[in-house]
Structure 1
Amino acid sequence: MTSFVTNLWESIFTPGPTPTLLIATNVTFAALQIVLACLLFATWSIHFVVLSALCGGLWGSINWFAAELKVHQIQEEEKARRAKEAAPTPVTSEDSETEVEAATSTASLTRQESIAEAVSHEVEPIQQIGELKHRVVEETSSLGTKSGVSTEDEWEKVSENENEKDK
């Protein structure tokens, strides 16, 4: 029991659904369903039927989501395995490069060429439609130069109006 609790605590900090976490989730939802069934038979209230249906839906959706994550993880591992198998064999040379450096440089060149091809086909040059216009700066005699859309200017106008109303 202590190893299960320890594994449960560690699985909380592990990304993805771990088997220990899924067991704890299923046990918790089963216990909640039992409690809701007992309360239904004790009170005959429709509320416990609705709560039980909500609980069952949430329980099923959590298990479905965990299964989908597992399928996705398996697919990603399969893609990584295929990519590893399809990787070019290291080229050995008498130069200063090692086998690892040669394979890395070959893979990066291939990746750069494919990115360059994708970018050259997808990106179109931008045509300049109009000219940029600079915002006109308003000058107020008492406060110096300020922008016409500043919120500080608006607050000053409000406070000036408030002062005039008080007089």
Structure 2
Amino acid sequence: MTSFATNLWESIFTPGPTPTLLIATNVTFAALQIVLACLLFATWSIHFVILSALCGGLWVSINWFAAELKVHQIQEEEKARRAKEAAPAPATSEDSETEVEAATSTASLTKQESIAEAVSHVVEPIQPVGELKHRVVDETPSLGAKSSVSTEDEWEKVSENENDKDK
């Protein structure tokens, strides 16, 4: 039991789902389901049925996610193993360039040029359409600086223009 607790503590700090962590998770969810079932039989409340369904869904989804992570990890290890086996022997001279390296550098250069062209077409300066008009500010000692035209007057002008359009 002590080794399980030690392994559980260490698995918390290990990335990915470890077997010890998955066992602890499954035992915890099973215990929660038992408690919810006991509470259901003791109270006959629909709330415990709903909580049990939520708990079961979470339990299944955690186990599914852990299985998917394991499959992905196996695939990544297989890719790394294949890449290691298929890696070409290093060239004897640093100045020599293989066809693959030349094609890769040409493709990356072409990609960089197309990105630069796309960015230059997207970012263009906007020409000013009209002039900015500044409002005249009246100075009143009691209220401080105030615009000569209030917002209410502007809204009245807008509503009058809309009424004229409707007629």
Structure 1 residue 97, shift from structure 2 partner: 15
Post-superposition offset of 1:25: 0.1
User: How many correspondences in the alignment?
Assistant: 167
Query: TM-score, normalization: structure 2?
Result: 0.57
| CA deviations over 1:65-123 (Å, ceiling 9, x no partner) | 10111111111111111111110024457999999999999999999999999999999
Whether the 8 Å contact between 1:26 and 1:59 is mirrored in structure 2 is yes
Distance 2:108 2:4 in 1: 45
CA distance in structure 2 between the partners assigned to 1:89 and 1:133 by the alignment: 71
Bigger CA radius of gyration:
2
Q: Counterparts of 2:85 and 2:25 in 1: how far apart (Å)?
A: 38
TM-score by length of 1: 0.57
Seen in structure 2, the aligned counterparts of structure 1 residues 79 and 112 have a Cα distance that, compared at 3 Å, is farther
| Contact 1:4–1:20 under 8 Å retained in 2 | yes
Please give the root-mean-square deviation of Cα atoms over the aligned residues, in Å: 10.1
Q: Work out the CA distance in 2 between the residues paired with 1:46 and 1:98.
A: 71
* More displaced stretch, 101-110 vs 46-55: 101-110
Cα distance, 1:153–1:40 mapped onto 2, change above 3 Å: same
Identity of aligned residues (%): 92
Structure 2 unpaired stretches of 5+: none
Identify unmatched segments of 5+ residues in structure 1.
none
Tell me the residue number matched to 2:52.
Answer: 52
